[in-house]
């Protein structure tokens, strides 16, 4: 595609919106970028408002954002390009849909968030474990605790189907700690696996830009 003027990118769990927007802008310089962070992912009314507010040539869902876009895929314009990065059909390993996280791990995360009044401190281990390389000072910009807890509940309870991903380009890192790419490929046969890459969005966004043969005519 020669030019993508507008991009709406749906963020992963707990990410600072400014940092994620910068990651998208690095891969797609010159495009107008809006970042959505779903505060109540289960709420269809919120999705309708946000997707109506930010129409785009390209919709990107990253991690939790991919599951959210799958849930609300029918709200996306048929003419738009749609992409899932680090795609999640089910976050939990027990569903055998590519997720590698146990219910025990999610319960532990929920308990830590509820018990610790310092949300930022609670998240530092998570970000280190996830290999998400944003500046530590940006941890102050993560969403509030109740929003984070609703996100965890969404990851725990919502399941998508592989067939839901047919209208999306799907890209995952070979070393993503949250996704078993071999298992996920059974449900998304066209899954593009980026070798030597983990969960962080930067290299996945670069692969997407390459797939779209993106060029910035403003340069």
Structure confidence by residue, pLDDT tens digits, 24-44: 999 999 999 999 999 999 999
Distance of CA 42 to the CA centre of its chain: 15
Owning domain of residue 78: 6-211
Asked if residue 1 belongs to a domain, the reply is no
**Is 219 part of a structural domain of the chain?**
no
Task: Look up residue 100 and give its DSSP letter.
Answer: -
Classify residue 29: in a domain, yes or no. Answer: yes
Q: Is residue 218 part of a domain?
A: no
Q: How many structural domains compose the chain?
A: 1
Task: Look up the CATH number of the domain holding residue 36.
Answer: 3.40.50.1820
14 in Cβ contact with 149 (< 8 Å): no
In a domain, 94, yes or no: yes
CA dihedral 48, 53, 57, 60 (to 10 degrees): -60
pLDDT tens, position by position, 149-199:
999 999 999 999 999 999 999 999 999 999 999 999 999 999 999 999 999
Residue 216 lies in a domain: no
217 within domain boundaries: no
Is the pTM for the entire model greater than 0.75? yes
Question: Does 84 fall in a domain?
Answer: yes
Q: How confident is the model at residue 140 (pLDDT cuts 50, 70, 90)?
A: confident
pLDDT range class, residue 218, cuts 50, 70, 90: very low
Q: What angle do CA 39, 42, 47 make, to 5 degrees?
A: 65
Closest by alpha carbon to 179, among 101, 98, 102, 103? 98
């Amino acid at each position: 595609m020669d030019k993508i003027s507008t991009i709406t990118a749906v963020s992963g769990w707990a990410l600072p919106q400014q940092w994620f927007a910068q990651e998208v802008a690095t891969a797609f310089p010159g495009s107008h970028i809006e970042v959505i962070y779903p505060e109540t992912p289960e709420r269809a009314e919120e999705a309708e408002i946000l997707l109506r507010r930010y129409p785009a040539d390209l919709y990107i869902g990253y991690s939790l954002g991919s599951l959210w876009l799958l849930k609300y895929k029918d709200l996306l314009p048929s003419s738009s390009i749609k992409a899932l990065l680090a795609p999640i059909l089910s976050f939990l390993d027990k569903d055998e849909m590519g997720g590698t996280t146990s219910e025990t791990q999610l319960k532990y995360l929920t308990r830590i968030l509820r018990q610790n009044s310092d949300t930022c401190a609670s998240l530092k281990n998570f970000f280190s474990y996830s290999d998400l390389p944003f500046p530590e000072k940006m941890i102050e910009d993560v969403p509030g605790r109740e929003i984070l807890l609703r996100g965890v509940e969404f990851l725990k309870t919502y399941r998508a189907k592989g067939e839901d991903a047919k209208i999306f380009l799907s890209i995952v890192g070979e070393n993503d700690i949250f996704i078993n790419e071999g298992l996920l490929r059974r449900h998304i046969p066209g899954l593009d696996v980026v070798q030597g890459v983990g969960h962080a969005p930067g290299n996945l966004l670069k692969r997407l830009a390459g797939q779209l043969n993106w060029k910035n005519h403003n340069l």
